[in-house]
Structure 1
Amino acid sequence: MSCQNCGYHNPPQTVTCLKCGHRLVQSSGDANLQSRVQRRRRQSRRTGFSSRFSRRPLLGVLVAGLLLLGGGYIVGRLLWSATTPATAESSRKSSAPQSADNDSSAQQPAKSAFPAATVTDLIEQATNGLAGQTSVAVMPLAGSQSVVVNNHAQRAGSLITLFIMVTAYDQVHQNNWRMQDRYTLRAADKVGGTGTLHTLPAGSQLTYAEITKRMITESDNTAANIMLDRVGGFSAVNTEIAQLGLTDTRMARRLMDTAALRAGHDNDTSVRDVATVLKRLANRRLISNKADHAMLTILKANTDHSKLVKNLPTRATIYNKTGDYQAYGVQNDAAIVRNRQGTFIMTMMAASGERTAQTSAMNDLGQVLYRAILEQ
């Protein structure tokens, strides 16, 4: 009786193999069984199983079973990963914290290369035929690329208040004074033009934070002059501008000082200078994270969206400042624009032109730039 496990020839009628202890199968085809056993043993040696597994059949079966189970698990995981990549990625994204109003542009997803050639063409198309002087600057949030057309110093209008605000927050950052300090409005402070602060009674008390907000969001001229005095006048603002490395910006008159205008003194800036400041601000690289966040919050609350940002979709987040002076044909707008795809900065300044044509060109340009840069 040949053992079907080890091939040992046992005496007839033996129940278990005398060599390995395996239960013997009684069969008239013993020769065929022996042949099958030998083939099995040769196959076992070829596949790398050691002879001790043959001598210990239960252990061999157990190991083979574990290997089969482990292999099945690995294969199953590989198949699952190959067939469900979108689900896995979606799960990772949903586990990240989301904020509806996160001003940190560093968290923005990567966009494709800045389309400088396309931006240049769009600017040319939008401004072609406009009377007067028109300048445009467009910059992505990251990198050194930019498109700047016809950059030069020109009338700033209320854009000059951006530099008053930056000077104020820099001084606060240096612990010179606090935005929560209070100021008592005087009759002598009040000037005309835009804004509502001049409608308040003398003796009204406001924090410098509130005055600064009015200066930006309402283009409040009274507020701008109060803040100019608080930071130390023209010299303080111009020193801040120089420290920022800007070359086309200078403050030379108070807001609504028509006598200074007649004498040839005005506040100047350029699209490049303004866009440079906004880019640093959007990257939180202007003063400090706290100060930059506060300034972005103010710019986001601006109520004048009649120019570059007028036709942008509601999904866009906008931080902007406008500047007008109709007597000189001045129409300015500067904006940081963000959506889920990324962030960019655009600035347009127009002077000595026709208001309706200038505004229409701004409306069109802002819309096509948004589509070209953030909806590629």
Structure 2
Amino acid sequence: MSKDINELTKQIQVIVDEFQGEVGIIVREGTKNIFSKNEEKIFQSASIIKLFILEALLEKIENNSFSYNQRVLLKNEDKVAGFGALKLLDENINLTIKDLATLMITLSDNTATNMLIDLIGIEYIQEFIKRKGYLETRLERKMFDYIAREKGLDNYTSARDSFRVLKNLSK
């Protein structure tokens, strides 16, 4: 390891040691992991789950199950709280799947995310997650689904799975 990498590794270790909560992290330089801690530890995924939804969508598009240009109508009942622009727009806007994916990733739009979950199917996405070997990741509910959360359902992932999905999406 170079002197700069060694120094960076030491700085990361200090930050991790001083952090008050739990951390799952992988730091990579080129093709080599230079630091990791709790990479298999399961955390609530929050919006990181959107990366797994995107990868499942891309598979559907590659298999010609969907097209980027396929249209989906925004309805008021689709709108949910949290981040995003769609919740602010009038209903009956005709969006493409590409529009929804772009809003989900660039603005972390929860409405777009839920619309894609409905379109792809939560069961399909979870099956995709298993098939791809994401061992610590689960999609159990849509964004802002308080009823599912009260039943104990949530979305989970790990640093290891998050790293792998980012690597797969960057190909």
The higher relative CO (CA closer than 8 Å, separation ≥ 6) is in: 2
Aligned length: 170
Is contact 1:184-1:206 (8 Å) kept? Answer: yes
Is contact 1:197-1:220 (8 Å) kept? Answer: yes
| Structure number with larger C-alpha Rg | 1
The corresponding residue for 1:192 is 81
Is contact 1:148-1:272 (8 Å) kept? Answer: no
CA displacement at 1:191 relative to structure 2? 0.7
Divergent runs of 4+, >4 A: 112-119
The corresponding residue for 1:129 is 18
TM-score by length of 2: 0.90
The corresponding residue for 1:271 is 159
SS in structure 1 at match of 2:127: helix
SS in structure 2 at match of 1:260: helix
SS in structure 2 at match of 1:276: helix
How far apart in 2 are the matches of 1:279 and 1:114?
26
Write out aligned runs for 1:112-151 (5 A).
117-142=6-31, 145-151=33-39
Write out aligned runs for 1:67-146 (5 A).
117-142=6-31, 145-146=33-34
How far apart in 2 are the matches of 1:257 and 1:169?
24
CA displacement at 1:140 relative to structure 2? 3.2
Matched residue type, 2:82: G
SS in structure 1 at match of 2:23: strand
SS in structure 1 at match of 2:144: coil
Instruction: Give ranges in structure 2 of 5+ residues lacking alignment.
Output: none
**117 and 149 in structure 1: CA distance in 2 versus 1, 3 angstrom threshold:** farther
Is contact 1:116-1:147 (8 Å) kept? Answer: no
**113 and 228 in structure 1: CA distance in 2 versus 1, 3 angstrom threshold:** farther
SS in structure 1 at match of 2:18: coil
1:171 aligns with 2:60: yes
Is contact 1:135-1:150 (8 Å) kept? Answer: yes
Is contact 2:54-2:101 (8 Å) kept? Answer: yes
Matched residue type, 2:35: V
The corresponding residue for 2:150 is 262
Matched residue type, 2:13: E
Is contact 2:44-2:156 (8 Å) kept? Answer: yes
How far apart in 2 are the matches of 1:181 and 1:142?
37
The corresponding residue for 2:69 is 180
The corresponding residue for 1:253 is 141
Is contact 2:26-2:159 (8 Å) kept? Answer: yes
**114 and 167 in structure 1: CA distance in 2 versus 1, 3 angstrom threshold:** farther
**131 and 177 in structure 1: CA distance in 2 versus 1, 3 angstrom threshold:** same
Matched residue type, 2:139: M
CA displacement at 1:117 relative to structure 2? 4.9
The corresponding residue for 1:315 is none
